[in-house]
Amino acid sequence: MPEPLSPLAIYQAHLEKGELAYQWSPAAGRAVFYPRVVCPFTGSTALEWRVASGLGTVHATTVTHPAQGEPYNVVLIDCDEGFRLMSRVGDIDPMAVRIGMRVRFRVHRPTGDKAGDEPPYPVFVPAEAMS
């Protein structure tokens, strides 16, 4: 019997395809994020995978100043499907990111030294910049 894929592996496989995936709990009637094997609202293990539209709103934002290197933003994004995740907003001055700003998902594939070692991860850009 093949080994089942972990929630993390399924999530990352979607990112490889350029998709932001999340789980849906039919028992709870709501989204679950981060992906897991048990629904935290009902205890059900019947969790479905869905692909998000990629649209969301900045819920919280900070700019972190590392000891070396440039400051960067860290945000919490509320996706339109009803789940929240940590990310960053690119293509913008980090201090210009505002709570309430509409943003759109873009997959980030680590390059340079990290290419191949680190899986892709979801970042966001201002929604209007995409149109």
Partner 1 sequence: MNGLVRGGAAIVGAAESDLGHVADGLNPIDLMAQGIARALDDCGLGLRDVDGLFCATTQARTSGLSLSEYLGISPAYIDTTILGGSSFEFHVAHAAAALQLGLCRVAVVAYGSTQRSVGRRQASVREVNPYETPFRPFLPPTAYALAASRHMHEFGTTREQLAAVAVAARQWALLNPAAWEKKPLTIPEVLAARMISYPFTVRDICLVTDGGGAIVMTAAERAGGLKKPPVYVLGCGAAITHASISSMPDLTVTGAVESGRQAYAMAGLKAAEVDVLELYDAFTLNTILFLEDLGFCPKGEGGRFVEGGRITPGGALPVNTNGGGLSYCHPGMYGLFLLIEAVRQLRGECGARQVPQAETAIAHGNGGVLSSQSTVILGTGATL
Q: Using CB under 8 A as the criterion, which residues of the chain lie in contact with partner 1 when the complex forms? A: 8, 12, 33-34, 59-66, 71-72, 74-76, 84-88, 95, 99, 108, 118-119, 121
Which CB atom, from 44 or from 59, has the smaller least distance to partner 1?
A: 59
Which CB atom, from 1 or from 43, has the smaller least distance to partner 1?
A: 43
Which CB atom, from 25 or from 87, has the smaller least distance to partner 1?
A: 87
Peptide bond just before 34 cis, omega within 30 deg: yes
| Contact between residue 61 and residue 98 where contact means Cβ atoms under 8 Å apart | yes
CA neighbours within 13 Å on the CB side: how many for 74?
A: 8
- The total of other beta-carbon atoms located within 10 Å of residue 43's CB is 10
Q: How far is the CB of 20 from partner 1 (least distance, A)?
A: 12
Which CB atom, from 38 or from 86, has the smaller least distance to partner 1?
A: 86
CA neighbours within 13 Å on the CB side: how many for 67?
A: 0
Q: How far is the CB of 86 from partner 1 (least distance, A)?
A: 5
Provide φ and ψ at 33, rounded to 5°.
-155, 140
Q: How far is the CB of 48 from partner 1 (least distance, A)?
A: 19
Q: Categorise residue 16: left if φ over 0, alpha if ψ from -120 to 50, beta otherwise.
A: alpha
Q: How far is the CB of 69 from partner 1 (least distance, A)?
A: 10
